[in-house]
Amino acid sequence: MRTLEIERDVALAPFTSLELGGPAKYFVRAADEATLVDALAWAAHQELPSAILAGGSNLIVPDEGYEGLVVQMAIDELDFREGGSVSAGAGVAWEKVVDGAVARGWAGLECLAGIPGSTGATPIQNVGAYGAEVAEVIARVRVLRRDTLAFEELAPDDCGFGYRDSLFKREPDRFVVSAVDFALRPDGPGTVRYAELERSVGPDATLAQIRRTVRALRRQKSMLIDSGDPNRRSAGSFFLNPVVSVADADRIVEQALERNLVRSAEEVPRYPAPDAQVKLAAGWLIEKAGVAKGSRRGAIGVSSKHALCLVHHGGGTTAELLDFAEEIRGRVLDRFGVTLEREPRLLA
C-alpha cells in the first residue's frame, strides 16, 4: 500500500515569490495524481481544510500560516505531440512550456514568455500579457473534483474564462487542475497586437524574436524573477486593470484634465473591453493618485520599475503588505472613484 508522506510545520514563504507568510501545519508534495487524491482524501478524513500550492508567484500567505493541509502540485509530465498539441502536468514550470513551443515554431504562447509560476495556474488566472491570454490556446483542462475525488476533462467553453478570470478562480473549492492541453499553431504567425510590443518588433517577427522582446520588456519592468533585481520579491501585478463603463472612463478623463494630471485626453491609457466597456491601466491610476514608483512603507514598497507591483524588500510581514495595498486602493478610490481588485490569491 502507498504511504502518504505528510510533513509537519513546513515554512511556506520560500515557496512563494513574495517570500512572506507562516508555515503549513501539514504539507504533501504530489508528484502524481494518485498522491493528489490520497492527500485530499486524508485531509477530508481528518476534517482539515486543504489548499493547493502551485508555483507560488500569485500567492499571498498569511503571517499565521495555514492550519490545514497544503498540497504542492509537482506533476511534471510534458508532451509535445504532432500537429501543435501540448499536454503539460500542473507542476510543469510555465516557461518550459513556452520555450518548448517557440523552439518548435508553434505559435500561441510567445507573448506569455517570462510569466513565473506553473502550468496548472495558467487556466485558473487565465494568464495574459502583451495582447494574448492563455484561454485562446487551451484545448482541455484535466481537473479533480474535490467533492467526488474523480477526474474530469473540461473543454474551454466549460471553464468560464474571462479577463484574468475563470470558473476555477470563482469557485476555488470545486476543482483542482491536474493537467492542461494546448492547441498551438505549427509554423503560424506570432501574436503582435499589443501597442508596446508592436513598437518593438516588426509585423514579420519570428516567434523567437517576439519571445525575446517580451522577456526584455518584462525585465525593464522587473516582471521577471531575477536574483539580482531589488524588486524581485513580488507577485507581479498586484491589482487587476479595472474594466469600467464608457461613461466612467470619460468621467476619469475629465477629472484628469481638470486636475492637470494630463495635458490631453489621449494621455489617459484606455483600451476596448468586451461588452462595450473600457479597460483602464491600474498602474497609471495608482501613480496619478499620488503613489510613486519606489514608494516604501518599511519593508514593503512599490516597485521602482512598475507601479502595479508591490514589493517585499525583506524582513516584512503579510499584514504590512495588505495594509499598504489597502492604502493604495483607498487613494485610487478617493481620487478616481475606481475600486482596484487584488490579483494574487490570499491563502485562507
Please pick, among 142, 164, 211, 233, the residue that the annotation labels catalytic. 164
**Angle between helical axes of 207-220 and 94-103 (0-180°, round to 10):** 150
| Residue 237 bears catalytic tag | yes
| Residue 164 bears catalytic tag | yes
Please pick, among 118, 237, 295, 303, the residue that the annotation labels catalytic. 237
| Residue 95 bears catalytic tag | no
Q: Which residues contact 39 (CB under 8 A, 6 or more apart)?
A: 4, 6, 28, 30, 50, 69, 71
Active-site amino acid positions: 164, 237, 343
